[in-house]
Amino acid sequence: MDKEFKLNDRVIMKKQHACGSNEWMITRMGVDIKIKCVNCGREIMMDRLEFKKKLKGVNHEKVQED
């Protein structure tokens, strides 16, 4: 799976969220990266190094926007 990421990308994290989903959307990219759980809407922030460590891959195929 691709590991190049940019704002608004859907990403899959290694560890799943408490709600059961492991799919997130990047909502902010700066020194820290903010991701939002696509299932429950919870947002978390982490630094880039931590993000890359926890990132499983970027989902470029399943883009749903309506």
Contact footprint for Zn ion (CB under 5 A): 17, 19, 21, 37, 39-40, 42
Q: Choose between 4 and 41: whose C-beta lies nearer to Zn ion.
A: 41
Write the DSSP string, 2-25: -----TT-EEEESSPPTTS--EEE
CB of 47 to Zn ion, least distance (A): 20
- Going from the C-alpha of 23 to that of each of 6, 20, 60, the distances in angstroms are 15, 9, 12
Q: Choose between 42 and 48: whose C-beta lies nearer to Zn ion.
A: 42
CB of 49 to Zn ion, least distance (A): 22
